[in-house]
Amino acid sequence: VECSNATEALAAAEAGADIILLDNFTPQELHRAAAQVKAAHPRVTVEASGGVVLGSLPQFLGPHIDVVSMGCLTHSAPALDFALRV
């Protein structure tokens, strides 16, 4: 479940979500919300996403973060035009 604040994340985990996506959090907000979710629901997978680029990646890593998504890997990739003729 994609969540934009800690209250939503806790409600989603309480409702039975297996994975909580904390989207567009600052690193400080992210770690605080992830710790709250993990304290109440240790088996829930916590994913960080939104605004993560290679240079800021270390700020998003932490003991309560299981997965980090980086959209810049796909939406910033250059296009490749090719054809395959058999």
As to burial, measured by CB atoms within 10 angstroms (0-12 exposed, 13-18 middle, 19+ buried), residue 3 is: buried
pLDDT tier at 54, thresholds 50, 70, 90:
confident
List of domains in the chain:
2-76 (3.20.20.70)
Higher pLDDT: 74 or 62? It is 62
Across the chain, mean pLDDT equals: 91
> For residue range 7-38, what is the model confidence (pLDDT) as tens digits?
999 999 999 999 999 999 999 999 999 999 99
Residue 19's nearest CA partner among 39, 43, 51 is: 43
The pTM (predicted TM-score) of the whole model is 0.81
